[in-house]
Amino acid sequence: MSEQSFQVKSDPALWEKLGMDVARFSGMPAMLTQAYRTIFLSQKNRPAAMAYFDGMVENIHTGRIDELMAVKEKGKPVVGTFCVYVPEELIVAAGGACVGLCGGAQGSIADAEKVLPRNICPMVKSAFGFKVGKICPYFQAVDLVYGETTCDAKKKTWELLDRYVPTHVMEIPQMKRERDKRLWLEEVQDFKVAVDRIAGTETGFDEVADAIRTVNAKRAALQRLNSLRHRSPSPISGRDMLLIQQIAFYDEPVRFAGKVNELCDELEKRVKDGVGVVPASTPRILVSGTPMALPNWKLHNIIETSGAVVVNEESCIGTRYYKDLIDEGATTVDQQLERLTERYMKIDCSCFTPNDDRIDQVLKEYRDSGAQGIIDYCLQFCHTYNIEAVKLREACEKHGISFMAIESDYSPDDVGQLKTRVEAFIEQITG
């Protein structure tokens, strides 16, 4: 898709129906259009199959919202989520739609700060601001919000968010012992009841089995894609890969998996022909740490306009979301929920203690991706990831891996400083 033909679409009538602040939101499509053209469509030699994902962004505030409203009209739940710990299979089993609500934009933070403290995570503030400011069509479309207790800012914000939209809070144990697994399983069972209540039906074995296969297929497609980008020269940019991973939280899962596999087919031919988006000599970076919710493309854009390529994301928007699948061999609903719980317990969020599995996972992904350095990205006030970066740095020093930690937010104010640091880091790893 050319830069000039790309245009994020508007639908003021739809937004009015959703109860949005239309006058305020009406400028958003033009702003997103310009940013997308600059960051994505200015790239050279993009895969042709990226056209689908460009189209998803064009329709992100219109066509996809129409699809969600059609789900609601059928009496099925539209559930908003903030975390990869949501058992999305149970939403799909009930015939519902699961959409990510994590905020990745600066524009809504001022709305949040009228209520919330300033010195908390920008992702939490951005999301909360979207709801209280009525400037997010997804927030306006959902029937229920799934919240979880992975950080203090989140779990206290959910108490306030519940005043604006029904919010189901799922307790996530902070250790991984057998008694923690029992608690987690009970929370999963409670979430199934909550979703089924909205759907007006009790989902059974067949529905859950189909949903597990559907979400497994989506994650398997992302695994395939991530494996292909590890090749040298990389057949797809880190920016495009980040975008696809972000869209995974918004798109219809069957369609999404199909389009990702179509892209993989194209990339396999690129790999066979030795075609890359950058030369094989381009420095390769692994990004670890906190999630990058759409439209947070700041760090990837800095890295890839500074002469390097991002070849892996160890984050909730990256491999942490799709590295594990659910065992499909259960024969009862109880077994399905237990195996689902076991899969979600493998996610190594920094909220857990101890969390050495994550350090091992970062090192594994570093080796698998052929990276030459690690940039650990932490959102301001995300204390668990910030402190865990100490152990990650120590592990990198032990293994002779170049490492840099970055703490940032959604403001553009630090772009110049970050670019200087990233350029110096790239120079260091290329020696």
Q: How far apart are CA 71 and CA 77, in angstroms?
A: 7
pTM: 0.97
Q: Do residues 310 and 241 lie in contact, with contact meaning Cβ atoms separated by under 8 Å?
A: yes
What CATH number is attached to the domain comprising 60? 3.40.50.11890
pLDDT one-digit tens code per residue, 163-214 = 999 999 999 999 999 999 999 999 999 999 999 999 999 999 999 999 999 9
Go through 70-108 and write b for each residue having 16 or more CB atoms within 10 A of its CB, e for each that does not. ebeeeebbbbbbbbbbbbbbbbbbbbbbbbbbbbbbbbb
Q: How far apart are CA 75 and CA 49, in angstroms?
A: 34
In a shared domain, residues 27 and 107 = yes
Tell me if 165 sits within 8 A of 131, measured CB to CB.
Answer: yes
Listed residue (80, 85, 81) closest to 150, CA to CA: 85
208 in a structural domain? no
Residues 244 and 374 both lie in one domain: yes
Which residue type, as a one-letter code, is found at position 366? Y
Question: Are 245 and 393 part of one and the same domain?
Answer: yes
Beta pairing partners, 289:
377
Task: Name beta bridge partners: 286.
Answer: 312, 374
| Integer Cα distance of 298 and 377 in angstroms | 11
For the chain, what is the mean pLDDT?
Answer: 97
In a domain? residue 339: no
Q: Give the total number of structural domains in the chain.
A: 2
Residue 107 lies in a domain: yes
Helix axes 333-345, 178-199, angle to 10 degrees: 120
* 102, part of any domain: yes
129 within a domain of the structure (yes/no)? yes
Q: How far apart are CA 271 and CA 253, in angstroms?
A: 26
Q: With bands split at pLDDT 50, 70 and 90, how would you rate the model's confidence at 155?
A: very high
Whether 172 and 230 share a structural domain: no
Using alpha carbons only, what angle is made at residue 67 by residues 62 and 295, rounded to the nearest 5 degrees? 50
Residues 310 and 164 grouped into a single domain: no
For the chain, helix (H) and strand (E) counts, in that order, are 20, 8
Domain contains 169? yes
In angstroms, rounded to a whole number, what is the distance separating the alpha carbons of residues 218 and 92?
Answer: 12
220 and 265 fall within a common domain: yes
CATH number at residue 246: 3.40.50.11900
Please report whether residue 133 resides in a domain. Answer: yes
Among candidate residues 188, 206, 235, the one where a domain is terminated: 188
Residues 264 and 160 in one domain: no
Do residue 240 and residue 369 come from a single domain?
yes
Are residues 274 and 146 part of one domain? no
Structural domain harbouring 24: 12-188
Q: 79 pairs with which residues across the strands?
A: 98, 144
Q: Check whether 417 has a pLDDT greater than 70.
A: yes
pLDDT at 1 over 90: no
Question: What residues contact residue 238 under an 8 Å CB cut-off, 6+ apart?
Answer: 229, 285, 287, 300, 303, 304, 309, 310, 311, 313
pLDDT given at position 4: 80
Q: How confident is the model at residue 3 (pLDDT cuts 50, 70, 90)?
A: confident
Model confidence at 289, pLDDT cuts 50, 70, 90, reads very high
What pLDDT is recorded for position 215?
Answer: 98
Where are any strands of DSSP class E within 78-181? 78-81, 97-100, 144-148, 167-170
Question: Rounded mean pLDDT of 221-232?
Answer: 98
Model pLDDT, residue 346: 97
Residues 136 and 246 in one domain: no
Structure confidence at residue 431 (pLDDT): 80
Token representation of residue 69: 């409203």
Q: Bigger pLDDT: 133 or 1?
A: 133
Asked if residues 176 and 199 have their Cβ atoms less than 8 Å apart, the reply is no
pLDDT (0 to 100) of residue 195: 96
**Domain presence at residue 354:** yes
Same domain, 94 and 169: yes
Asked if the model's pLDDT at residue 2 lies above 80, the reply is no
What is the Cα–Cα distance from 117 to 251, expressed in whole angstroms?
Answer: 32
Give the CA count within 13 Å in the CB-facing half-sphere of 160.
18
Shared-domain flag, residues 179 and 44: yes
pLDDT one-digit tens code per residue, 327-353: 999 999 999 999 999 999 999 999 999
